[in-house]
Chain A
Amino acid sequence: MKRKINYFIVLISIFTIFLAACNGDSDASSESGEASNYPSRNIEVLVGHGAGGGTDLFARAVVNELEDILDVNINVVNQEGGAGVVALQNAYNAPSDGYTLIADAAFSITTAAGTNAYGLDDFTPIARFQNDTYALWVNAEDFSSIEEFIEAVEENPGQVTVGGTGSLGMDEMTVFMLEQAADMDLNFVPMEGAGEMHAGVLGGHLDAMVDEFGPTKSLADDGSIVPLVVFSEERIDEFPDVPTTVELGWDLTDGNERAFYIKSDTDPEIIEILENAMKEAYESEDYKRYEEDNYLHLRDGWLNSADFEERTEELIEKYQVIMDELQQ
């Protein structure tokens, strides 16, 4: 009996050491890949979100083009969890040889919220592809204009429910910023996924929701839900009658910004090769068609590495202030 227990303790301690290795930096020998013959083998793109979601589809659409441009196999690896933090962690543990990229939509938010321990010192953006546009959606039977909505909120402060997916993510930030900009008192309800949220608005369980144009397309075409206000500077061709936040005097045009990242200590020449390849992918016809099919072309998405790094820095600072207010 005693012997059995001793044996067991030894095993468990070995195991614990290993568990620790899962978390810590598994000293990845930084054998820098040679830029001259890059890429010479398969590349892996880590996606921090589930298969089939917006960021996953984006990564796969770009990878399709990149494979032809770079002439290598590129594997998309979904590592769901923590709004992309798990994928960042795993990428950080991989060697910085340019063969591990990350596709992420929430980098600036998770960094601002503190759930992502790696900042711009550890990861560098390669390029931003999409700057998605939000709108405030309601059931067509409930409201027909933003004025009606504002009136309803003023009559029942804190009672009007607005759905969004996830918590402390872009959706909740958007609703919070809307409350501040328009001086409204809303009741944000975090939903599990877009499906549940759409059903909530259609079934009359939620008064409104924030979502992008792609996922809501079929319901909007059908006329069962309508956008009240678009979170951008300019009106949208498909919905010419819907006012924008800027028109209403609200300074609120943020959206999900989907981009590729890589470890900062990667050979700069490799980053440049990737950046150029991505520019080419961005301009390809197939990618353009994918954007149009999914209503992602409403705003020009492209930003190169240096520009997007600057923007990310600004965003992190801005979101940090909001996070502090949310979490106080």
Chain B
Amino acid sequence: MVGIVSYGGYVPRRRLNRMSVIQEMGWYIPALMMVANGERSMCNWDEDSLTMAVASARDCISGFDKSKIDGIFLATTTPPFADRQNAGILATALNLREDIVTADFASSLKSGTTALISAVESLKSGEKKNVLVAASDHRRTKSASFYEMWFGDGSASLLLGNENVIAEYKGSFSLSLDFVDHYRGESQKFDYTWEERWIRDEGYAKIIPQAINGLFKKYGISIKDVAKVVYPCFISREHKGIAKKIGASKEQVVDNMHEVTGETGSAHPLLMLTAALEQSKPGDKIVVASFGQGSDALLFEVTEHITKLAPRRGVKGSLENRKEEASYAKFLKFNDLINAETGIRAEAATQTALTTLWRNKKMILGFVGGKCKKCGTLQYPKTNVCVNPKCNAFHTQEDYEFSDKEAKVMSFTGDYLAVSVEPPVLYGMVQFDGGGRTLLDFTDCDLENVQVGQTMKLSFRKKYYDKDRGFTGYFWKAILK
């Protein structure tokens, strides 16, 4: 049996109240009010599609033996690198084996489901045993556009395998149609979009039913056999309209999450599927379809194993970890949509020595430290000489992963002088519960909520962006447990 073994979700903690957009820009485009209900998820300034993918993937593989993963596919239309495999960075961050296949699935909002199909096929051939699929998007939009209201940021990951399958893969049906509702040309920051009425009537309303009905026909089933149907459509009214067209009841249709996250691009079908899995029972058949120059429709059947999957953050936990952001200006600043003063201090050199990064990739991207074979002392980073003054042995350290360890705050500050997108910069020294300590930037927390002794955990984040060269540097930061 081949199928989904585990799922993981990640939605950034900050949620932009859509009314804050109306407050600032409603005078400019009053019609935005039509879609201003609820809130949309927004990346912190140090998050992007890759960091979110790392977060959902870590959630997905928690409790699993990651040394058994032999493939990782990353689907996104907003990869931080056009040429440097983003899935490879993801694999390094997860500290996976080196002898695995990694691939980026890109350039279409259906890339997430296409990655799923490819993963399943590589499992079916017997070539692979466990393949992780992560989908993630952080799409930039112009200020005061409908898309700014409709979109959200987020990621979902699915581990596919052939043991302890929680949702068996039953089949898929794909359509490839060069329907250009939007596109983002090379070197363009924003999508160029055609008229919404056309996208709605000729796109969503036709293509998604065509894909789902094609799936039904191919496998000889009907909507009545299905417990849940997952498909994206940011036009909420049309989302319901599609249900009618395929004959699905209100109960069968999984919410498009407009009010809680907005549409998360290539991640969205997988995010909605994860939300559906969280509420499924054995025997449920789930259809998931995507939309993006065609559509992939996939059929899964939930198994008994779903009751045995250890609790995880998933979508539910992600939605609960929430901080409302009422400042639209902050959303603009985080997304580099306003040209705020940064001061001469921010003009410092930001080059990355790629030789240094290569030698230290496990330390930097995987947060791998050392454990002294002689005295057992845990230390970060791993060095040639043990830090324990009673040991100080040379060349005794073996790899030790700290990324999943908890730590306590020893000291901290909120720094108003350091260059930052959102001052003050929080950082401090943390002591890992099992030994080892280091200084780290803190993120996703507020100064008034940090105390000495507080428990922290780690999160993979953007550390810097080299705007002269287009290079994003990543490292780990501490977040509140």
Genuine A/B complex: no
Chain A positions within 8 Å of B, measured between CB atoms, are none
